[in-house]
Each structure stands twice: as structure tokens, then as C-alpha cells.
Structure 1
Amino acid sequence: MHHPTAPRPLARAGRRHALLLLAALAAAPAAPALAAGPYPDKPVRVVVPFPAGGGTDIVARLIGPYLSAELKQPIVFDNRAGAATVIGTEQVASAPADGYTLLFTSSAFTANASLMKKLPYDPLRDFAPIGQAALHPFVLVAHPSIPANDLKGLLAYAKQNPGKLSYASVGPGSSQHLGMELLKRMAGVDIVHIPYRGSAPAMADLLGGQVDLMFNGISPTLQHIRSGKLKVLATDSDRRVPLLPDVPTVAEAAGLPGYKITTWSGLLAPAGIPDDVKTRLEAAWAKVMGNADLKKELTERGLVPNYVAAGPFGQMLKDDKEEWARLTRDAKVQPE
């Protein structure tokens, strides 16, 4: 017997399945939005384009725990040294602009535009500044055999003995090299440049008397100053360093107003980072850099805490790029 109404339960079941499927499809687009959550919801990678243990890396790792606590996510440091910071910097320039890959770098960031013929990124166009962290003053030290006990005396000796004194640097275009070339130009003296591959071999030769002078970071040099193995002459910044309050600046010690070449460190993100993420990072950075404990830790290592907000930091990067261009031109450093 034919029963036209028999298939109806199956038809009703089919309709129910179809409706359930449509409901599931309608709900699907909402799932990723729910999963994403507010920034950040996973660890943040900070690329440091220097070897571990260097001045910039030390500052980054001092800041790390404070930034992690503020963002409530782990901060993973990734040392990507090589090609005078270009390798690590390029990695960040080409990373997704989502706030999960950041760059903690130094003055090399702006100096390289003048020291290299071609960079695989534009330091101003391809990055969004988040904020400056600290200044890294160098101290000018001399071997005890030098017949001068202050910078004025040293420059007077150099004028009377052109080409007799020598100074070490970590290579052409480094802060140590350009800092001394600027001093030579402003003081009108001739001191021979001896480049090294890193500050450790340069310091070893300075302690051994193979070279006479060197600009170097305060923290690794302090023990040699305190032990009397090196004479301290001046710092290269525009203000006295809290850790060495009795040591004058080059401008003070040599009577050369306007002399300064202090390097800096700061945080940047790839250009195109979403506004809400950038705002979150900037606020976190401001809070972290205002922390009294962090300031104390930086100061104890011969650094100068120097928070600069994103806008002024961006302008400083432009000015710094122009200043390095002038310094390299005056020092006759050829781009490589």
C-alpha cells in the first residue's frame, strides 16, 4: 500500500540537520574574534640585533621583567646579531605588524643609513617608534703612561706631538670611532685610529699600552678606572653621569661646547602596527620606564634612564640620522 505521508519524519529530520548546519555556519565567523582577545594574548618577541651580553642587550634584559609584568605576557628576547645590526633589524622590518615582534636597538639603527651604501629597509619609513629607554654614555680613558692627567693636558700634548698618540675603536663608523673623530676635529689634533673587532681586544691592548686612548662603555670600564689601571678623562654625553659625578663631560673638560655623541637605546615596531596595539605598547612602555626600581638598576650600570615618548622619539630618530650623516661625512668614513 502506498503511504504518501511516510517520508515526512525523514524530511523533518533533514530540515533539522540543514537548520543546525546553517546555524553552525552562521556562528563560525564569530569564533576567531572570540579567540583573539585583547592585545597581547601570547608571548611578545623582542629582537635585539646585538650579541648577548652587550650594552644594548643588558638594557633590554633589565627592562624585560617589568614589561612582561605590565603586558601580562612573557617577553622572549631573540639576539640576532650580524652585519652591524642589519640582520636583526631587517627581520623586524619584514615581520607581521601585529605587535608580537618588536625591535630593541641603539644608535646603530640611525647611523647605518650613513655607514652602508644600501640598507634592506628604511629606518624611518619601515618602523613605528614606541619609546626611548636610556642613554649609553661612553667614558674616555687613557693608559697611565700618557703624560697628561686631564683632557686639556692630553689635547695640548697631542697638538705638540701630531700623530704620536693612538686610539682604539671597535671599527670604522662605530660610536667610539666617530666620537674621537669629532673630538679631533673640534680640538684640531691628529690622533691615529686603530680599529679592532670588538671592545674586548681593544681594551686588552689599551691595558697593555699598545694603544693610548679609547672611548668605551662605563660599566665594563669602571673596574679598570677604580683599580688605577686606566686614567679617566671625560664622558661623551651632554651631562655628567650619575655613576661618575666627578668626571666632566668632554665639553666641560676640553672647553668644547656642543660636543656630545651619547648613544641611546629604544623600542620600535614594524610600520603599520594597529593603532590600538601601538597605544597599548606606548602606555606600557611609559609606565615601565617610569619605574623607580628599573631606573636604579640602569643607573647602577652607568646608564642614564631617558624615557622619550613615541612622538618625540620619532623626531629624535630623524635628527639623529642627520647628525650621523654629518659626523660620518666630517670623519671621511666611506659607506661600505
Structure 2
Amino acid sequence: MKKLLSTVCTAALLTLSCGGALSQNYPTKPVKIIVPFGPGGFTDVVARILGVKLSESLGQPVVIENKPGAGSMIGSDQVAKSAPDGHTLLIVSSTHVISPWIYKTLPYDPIKAFTPVTKLVDSPYVLLTNPKVPVKNVQEFIALAKSKPNDIHYASSGNGSAQHLIGGLFASMTKTQLKHVPYRSSSAAATDLVAGVVESSFAGVPNALAQVPNGRLNALAVTSAKRIPQLPNVPTMQEAGVPGYDATIWLAMLAPAGTPASIVNRLNSDIAKIMSSPETQKAMYEAGVEVSLSTPAALSQLMVSELDKWGKVAKEAGITLE
């Protein structure tokens, strides 16, 4: 027994020692942040704002790599299978805990395959329509959709994305039949919306800010419970006549499961300083998101609770994919 205890203690000390060494030397090479969505969406925008400052803080290049597809599963799977040394990180949205309820199988466990680092931001979506669509508000949009079942399309960044589910929730709560059109990225969806290929989209605030002020798109409502300062004249969905509708999306940073706590805490501390600076706060505001940080433990709790929440939404909206 004494020999066994000695072996266990030695192993524990070695683990702590290795973890400490990793933290002291980290990072030893460029850090890659995987964004499991296409370029141009608000996840990508936030990643690039953060990446510049994080590179300065870590003393190593931070490379942003877009790996879109399959409702964020392609990029997430890559990180889940990466070495847990802090050199490959992942920025996820609420889609991360939506996918398990949309797809029949996932190549990873959305909770167990990752180590939470920190929550980053919150952001609502905006119901946008092409100006050629003959509606001026949400109630007129609902009436039009009911008069033309499955003829009104809404674009999203892909099957199983937050945009997809938010649109499905809207259709479910308003008893309308909207036709979902998945794209490989939210920017591609916005491009076709501006061109009139599709009539509507539940888009991120950055896409709305790029197109609404110049009149290329109309903003009917934001999906959050409160109006947002970037679009103060746009009502909430509840104000627009859809009681109980509230769908705010969050972004967070994850690392592969098994990443040493020393590295996680270093990243959490550095990111907190970066995101709390006036310069970064201004950049995030202009990107249409609100900085919202957390401890790794709090992010873990959030992911578990959100997994349950979006599972209920997916079931009620009747959204499933192969």
C-alpha cells in the first residue's frame, strides 16, 4: 500500500510539474484559433479582433483559421482531436450546444471533448428582409408568410446553425411555414439576401450594420429581450408582436479536453484583460456584440444549461437533420 501511495503521489507531482512547465513555457509556437464558420460572420469578426491582441499578449502569432460546415461540427471536431497543449483553440457559438439536438450523430461530445476557457460575448440576431419584400414590420411579414406557405425563404449560415434554429423558433412561435436555405457562411447568406435571391434572414448584428443603414436591407426586429444600442429604432421581437420570443447568442473559447489548468487560466486572464480594455470594447460594440466574460467553471455550467435549453427549442420547432 505504501508503495502504491508513493507511486500515485509521484505521478501527481509529475503531472503538476509538467503542467507548471507547460504554463511557464507556453506558448512555444504560433497559436491557431479555429472558427467553425465562414469568414465575415460575427464569430469570425470577434475572433479576428481578439486574435490581434492575443498575439501581442502571448508573444506568438495567433492565426485565425475558418473551418465552416455541418453546423460547426467540422471545425469543432478538428479541435477536439488536437493536442491539449493550448496551441489549438476553438471559438464556438450557441450552435455548439444546438448541433447535438439537430444531427443524429456527432463525432465528439460537445461537453466532454473540450476544456472551457472563457465566455466572450453575447449578441442578438436581427430579422432582415430584402427591400423588395412588401412588408414594413414583423406582423406584415407573418401575414405574408401565412398567405404563401413555404414560398418565403430565410437564409442561414448552414444546417444546424444558430441562424437556422432561431428562424425555426420564429416559425414555430408564429405558426408560419418558412423555407430554410442553408449557406456555407453568414456572409454568403447576406450576399444572396441583398441580391434578392432569398427574402429574409435572421442575421448577426455585423451583417445588419453593414447593410441596413445604406438601405440595402430592412431590419424588422432584434431577437433579444431588449433593444440594442447599435440599432435603437429597431424593436424587439416581443415589441413587434411575438410574445415570449428571446434568443440571444453567445460566443466562447474552448480548448481540447485535457488542456492543463495552468494554460487555461493563463488564457482566461489574458483574454479578460484584452476584452476589458476600452479599445477592444469599442471594437466589439462596432461589431455589434457585447463583451460578456466568465470563469472556465461558469462557462462549463452555461454550456450544460444551454444544451438543455436548445434541446427543448429544437424539439418544439421540429428541426432535425440527418
Tell me the TM-score range normalised by the shorter chain: 0.7 to 0.9
Q: Could you tell me which residue of structure 1 aligns to residue 15 of structure 2?
A: none
CA apart distance, 1:130: 0.7
Q: Is the 8 A contact 2:27 2:58 kept in 1?
A: no
Which of 121, 127, 136 does residue 114 from structure 2 map onto? 127
Distance change in 2, residues 1:264/1:117 (3 Å):
same
Q: List alignment gaps of at least 5 residues for structure 1.
A: 1-31
Which of 230, 242, 248 does residue 235 from structure 2 map onto? 248
Distance change in 2, residues 1:206/1:239 (3 Å):
same
Q: Is the 8 A contact 2:52 2:62 kept in 1?
A: yes
- Cα RMSD (Å): 2.8
Q: Is the 8 A contact 1:286 1:307 kept in 2?
A: yes
Structural mapping, 1:15-94, within 5 Å: 38-43=24-29, 44-94=31-81
CA apart distance, 1:59: 1.0
Distance change in 2, residues 1:101/1:233 (3 Å):
same
Deviations 1:106-140 (A, max 9, x none): 22221221222221211111111111112243211
Distance change in 2, residues 1:147/1:321 (3 Å):
same
Q: Could you tell me which residue of structure 2 aligns to residue 177 of structure 1?
A: 164
CA apart distance, 1:229: 3.2
Which 10-residue stretch deviates more, 289-298 or 169-178?
Answer: 169-178
Q: Could you tell me which residue of structure 2 aligns to residue 25 of structure 1?
A: none
Which of 286, 290, 300 does residue 314 from structure 1 map onto? 300
Number of aligned residue pairs = 303
Q: Is the 8 A contact 1:168 1:196 kept in 2?
A: no
Q: Could you tell me which residue of structure 2 aligns to residue 186 of structure 1?
A: 173
CA apart distance, 1:203: 3.8
Q: Is the 8 A contact 2:227 2:235 kept in 1?
A: yes
Alpha-carbon distance in 2 for matches of 1:45, 1:287: 20
Distance change in 2, residues 1:51/1:143 (3 Å):
closer
Q: Could you tell me which residue of structure 1 aligns to residue 105 of structure 2?
A: 118
Q: What secondary structure, in the 3-state scheme, does the structure 1 residue paired with 2:302 have?
A: helix
Alpha-carbon distance in 1 for matches of 2:242, 2:22: 58
CA apart distance, 1:97: 1.8
* TM-score (structure 2 length as normaliser): 0.82
Q: What secondary structure, in the 3-state scheme, does the structure 1 residue paired with 2:274 have?
A: helix
Alpha-carbon distance in 2 for matches of 1:270, 1:187: 39
Q: Could you tell me which residue of structure 1 aligns to residue 290 of structure 2?
A: 304
Give the partner amino acid of 1:299.
Answer: Y
Distance change in 2, residues 1:260/1:39 (3 Å):
farther
Alpha-carbon distance in 2 for matches of 1:322, 1:330: 13
Which of 280, 284, 287 does residue 270 from structure 2 map onto? 284
Q: Is the 8 A contact 2:187 2:207 kept in 1?
A: no
Give the partner amino acid of 1:184.
Answer: A
2:153 maps to 1:167: yes
CA apart distance, 1:267: 0.7
Alpha-carbon distance in 1 for matches of 2:23, 2:195: 58
CA apart distance, 1:318: 1.1
CA apart distance, 1:164: 7.0
Identity %: 35
Distance change in 2, residues 1:278/1:292 (3 Å):
same
Q: Is the 8 A contact 2:169 2:317 kept in 1?
A: yes
Give the partner amino acid of 1:303.
Answer: V
2:269 maps to 1:294: no
Q: Is the 8 A contact 2:41 2:207 kept in 1?
A: no
Alpha-carbon distance in 1 for matches of 2:267, 2:303: 18
Q: List alignment gaps of at least 5 residues for structure 2.
A: 1-17
Q: Is the 8 A contact 1:137 1:304 kept in 2?
A: no
Deviations 1:283-311 (A, max 9, x none): 11222221111111011122222223322
Distance change in 2, residues 1:95/1:255 (3 Å):
closer
Which 10-residue stretch deviates more, 32-41 or 58-67?
Answer: 32-41
Give the partner amino acid of 2:55.
Answer: S
Alpha-carbon distance in 2 for matches of 1:178, 1:71: 36
* TM-score (structure 1 length as normaliser): 0.79
Q: Is the 8 A contact 2:163 2:203 kept in 1?
A: yes
Alpha-carbon distance in 1 for matches of 2:97, 2:76: 11
Q: Could you tell me which residue of structure 1 aligns to residue 255 of structure 2?
A: 269
CA apart distance, 1:90: 1.9
Which 10-residue stretch deviates more, 217-226 or 287-296?
Answer: 217-226
Distance change in 2, residues 1:291/1:36 (3 Å):
same
